Amino acid sequence: MKELASIFILALLMMAAGCQYDPHAHLYTTEQPQKTNVVGRYVLISQSLSQGGLTVLSGRVCSVELKADGTFIASNVPPSKQDMNPGTNFFQSLVSAQGTWSVTTVGGVGIGGGKSKPRWGVELETSGAMLLSPGLMGTKPPYGLIYTLGDPDSGTALILERAK
| Residue 15, number of CB atoms within 10 A of its CB | 9
pLDDT in tens, 84-127: 556 667 888 889 999 999 999 999 988 888 899 999 999 999 98
Q: What is the DSSP string of 64-76?
A: EEE-TTSEEEEEE
pTM score: 0.82
pLDDT at 92: 82
The mean predicted confidence, pLDDT, of the chain is: 84
Angle (CA) 30-66-141 rounded to 5° is 40
Q: How far apart are CA 70 and CA 124, in angstroms?
A: 10
Q: How far apart are CA 136 and CA 103, in angstroms?
A: 9
In the chain, what are the domain boundaries? 23-162
